[in-house]
Structure formats: structure tokens, C-alpha cells
Amino acid sequence: MITDEIKTSNLSDIRFLNEHDIGQEMYRLVSELYPICRSITGNGFRETLDIIKDYIELEVHEVPTGTEVFDWTVPKEWNIKDAYIKNLKGERIVDFKKNNLHVVNYSVPVNKLMPFEELKSHLFTLPDYPDRIPYRTSYYKESWGFCLSHEQFLALKDEEYEVCIDSTLEEGSLTYGEYYLQGESEDEVLISCHACHPSLCNDNLSGIALATFLAKYLSQISPRYSYRFLFIPGTIGSITWLSLNEAQVYRIKHGLVLTGVGDPGNFTYKKSRRGNAEIDRAVIHVLKHSGLEHAIIDFFPFGYDERQFCSPGFNLPVGCFMRSSHGHYSEYHTSADNLNFVQPQYLADSFSKCLSALNIIENNKPYLNQNPKCEPQLGKRGLYRAIGGQAEEQVNELALLWVLNLSDGEHTLLDIADKSNFDFDAIKKAADALLKHGLLK
């Protein structure tokens, strides 16, 4: 178990907590959230936030139906109790209670007998993956439907069926969760994830777990930046948040959208629209020095909420951190995106990589060499190995020379790390040693 009492001002310390335990805890949260039928509004979303509240002090916001948010309007609230298709024998052959993916999310209520011919146009399957249930939504067009495995579909007969969706679509509100962590500076790091998908693990729950655990552990240190975590419904949630918080958006200096971080695939980082934001450089640095295969992709206007954060009117420095990118794994938006697909070790690895990137952001500053005319004599300060011996402090000598040479007030530690090809931690360690000996300011 991880102690709740990690009091350190240094983010790099929490990076070395037991990764195995963190992965297990994140997976436990994913498992707890998995059965809930979430949507972009409604009680499933509220229930999800209630569970996250066991980990962090979330503030829950309710935005009424009909609120104008830029070019959009907050929709009616959707809730569902039950849904099924029964055959003539009264057997539930498609049952929402077995898997909430069986109902097209946002289906309007229906309760009637109908022939197979009529029912057929409301059924969705995946013929290429005949044992999987697809995930479908109909948020902005009032309709109804069922999703089922193609195997189930082929077993249907040309007879009459009882079709029931016990849902409501009424005036209500859009719910979202926000957690704000005050740092030394008013400048903010935005961490956002979507929490609007029903029983899908990698797509939505893994991002929720990562955001929750980053928030939980960052709250135990005194960070330089303030952190704002958003648990929002995809698209309409970020549009709503940006619309309500437009006046504060200038504080966001760095940001990440977290999604699809629990699968076995390689890391993928989608850069912000700016392409060279500090957060882009930090994540790329971490992935490059991880020695793992990974992909860096340019911004494109499709995907998750980075689409809104990076719309031209905001153009915020927000990238998207993923393992396999959406649409590039066959489990995506199907019942196969389940508790087997997501695994603790991948969640833990994502946690550690994100924290390393945030550690760079937290510590990335320019310094000034206090002895810029020729090199200072490092040996007499115990920073340089004596002949045949070891340096007193385990700092890489070449890293020291790079930091001294480039600490002209113009280069940050990340600039120096990238230029010298050293890992950020080695450069940071060298800078700390030089600071200690008064050679940097």
C-alpha cells in the first residue's frame, strides 16, 4: 500500500514510489468505475465523480440544459434504468443489465412490440469482430438503438420482439468535475480527461485513473505551478468549460489531455497545435530518453478535447498523451476495451512518464553562470575527479561543463539537456551541484 503521507517539496521524489503499487491502485479505480453507464450528462457521470472524490477533493459543477456555450448548447440530460429486447418466450436476448454498451448511448425511450424487419434498422453490430459489442452514441439527434455482437444478431429470427428502453431525456444539467491545486505561481498546468464513456476501459477510464492519481500525488508536494484537473464529457465538456472560464484561460501555461493510457501499445504523443510548446518538448524528451519505442505526431483537428483547447481562438499549449492512439487498436469503441485489455503495469508506466514530463516543467529554468570567464576549477570544489580517483559527488562532469557553458540566462535546463543529449535528470543534478557551490544563480 502507498502511504498517504508523502510530504516532500520535490516532484522527482514521488516519481520513484513503487510503480507496481500505483499500477494496482489505478487498476482498482478503473475496475470500480467500469460497470457504470456514463454519458455526456446524467447520473452515471455524477456517480463517477463521487467515486473519484474518494481520492481527491473534486468540485462538482452543474451547467443547466440550454446554456449557450460558444456555438453549442448544453443538451438535455439523459438517464437510463433498463433496456432489453425480449423474444416471444419472454427471454431477454439483449440485456442492458449484462452490458451497458448494448444501448445506443442517449437513446430516447421506447416500449413496444415490433417485427424483426422494423427492429433491424435500430441494431448495430461489428461483422469483422463477431463476438464484440460496438459502442454507439446519438447525442445530438434524437433516436434509439441497440448494439449487439454479430453472433447475437445472426441468431435473431424473423419474428416479433418486445423492445424496451427505459430512459429519460429531459431538462437537467451537464455535470463536470474540477480539482484545483494551488502552487507557488498563479500560472497553471491543465490536465484534462473525458469521463463520458460507459463500460470502456482504455478509452476514458484509464485517463480518469491517471488524472486522479497525478492529482492525488501532486497534492502531496508544493508545486511551482498551480494545477487544474478537469473530468469532463468529451467535446461538449471542454467547450462548456472554455466558455465559462474564458477570462482565466490566459493562466494556462502547459497542458495535457490524457486518454488511452492503460493498453499494452507504445506511447504516442500528439503535439499541441503550437508544435514547440514547453510541454511538447518535455514529453518528447521523456519518451526519447525512455529507450522505448514511441510515436510523436503533429497536431491534427480530430481526436479528443485538444481539439477545443487548441482551436485557433485559444491555441493553448495542450498536447495529448496516449499509448495506442484512438482508432489504431481494434478494441477501440468495442466491448473488447475491457478490464483484460487495460493492465496495471501499463497504467503505472503512463503515470511515471507523465510525472517525469511534469517534473521537467516544474524544474525547467534558466540559470546564470557566476564564473563565466573561463571554466571554474571544479577539482578544488570536489566536483571533478582527482587523478585515479572519483569525484566526491556523483555528478557527470560533462553535464557540469554543459550546464556551466550554457547557463547564460538564455538557455533553460531542458534546452541544455536537449542540446547536450543528456537526460534532464542528469542536467538537473549537475545544476543542483553547481548551485550548491555558488557557481550558478
Residue with cell 546564470: 368
Distance CA 211, CA 231 (A): 8
Site stretch for Zn ion (CB under 5 A), options 30-38, 142-150, 203-211, 354-362: 203-211
Amino acid making up residue 340? N
Q: Which residue's CB is nearer to Zn ion, number 78 or number 367?
A: 78
Distance CA 419, CA 402 (A): 9
Q: How far is the CB of 365 from Zn ion (least distance, A)?
A: 38
Site stretch for Zn ion (CB under 5 A), options 41-49, 143-151, 199-207, 265-273: 199-207
Q: Look up residue 78 and give its three cell numbers.
A: 439523459
Cα 255 to chain centroid distance, Å, stands at 10
CB 216 within 8 A of CB 55: yes
Q: Look up residue 329 and give its three cell numbers.
A: 487498436
Q: Which residue's CB is nearer to Zn ion, number 125 or number 325?
A: 325
Q: Which residue's CB is nearer to Zn ion, number 303 or number 317?
A: 303
Distance CA 54, CA 52 (A): 5
- Answer yes or no whether residue 203 interacts with Zn ion by CB under 5 A: yes
Query: Which single residue brings its beta carbon nearest to Zn ion?
Result: 203
CB 434 within 8 A of CB 440: yes
Task: Tell me the site size for Zn ion, rule CB under 5 A.
Answer: 1
Q: How far is the CB of 201 from Zn ion (least distance, A)?
A: 11
Q: Which residue's CB is nearer to Zn ion, number 38 or number 428?
A: 38
Indicate the length of the chain as a whole number: 441
Q: Which residue's CB is nearer to Zn ion, number 169 or number 200?
A: 200
Site stretch for Zn ion (CB under 5 A), options 16-24, 67-75, 201-209, 407-415: 201-209
- Answer yes or no whether residue 280 interacts with Zn ion by CB under 5 A: no
From residue 148, alpha-carbon distances to 46, 103, 114, 123, 131 in Å are: 27, 9, 18, 7, 9
Decide: helix, strand or coil at residue 426.
Answer: helix
Query: What b/e string do you get for 139-158 counting C-beta neighbours within 10 Å, with b at 16 or more?
Result: beeeebbbbbbbebbeebee
Q: Which residue's CB is nearer to Zn ion, number 84 or number 135?
A: 135
Q: Which residue's CB is nearer to Zn ion, number 106 or number 424?
A: 106
Q: How far is the CB of 197 from Zn ion (least distance, A)?
A: 6
Site stretch for Zn ion (CB under 5 A), options 195-203, 246-254, 284-292, 409-417: 195-203
Burial of 46 (0-12, 13-18, 19+ CB in 10 A): middle
Q: What character string, x for contact with Zn ion (CB under 5 A) and - otherwise, covers 150-189?
A: ----------------------------------------
Q: How far is the CB of 338 from Zn ion (least distance, A)?
A: 14
What residues line the site for Zn ion (CB under 5 A)? 203
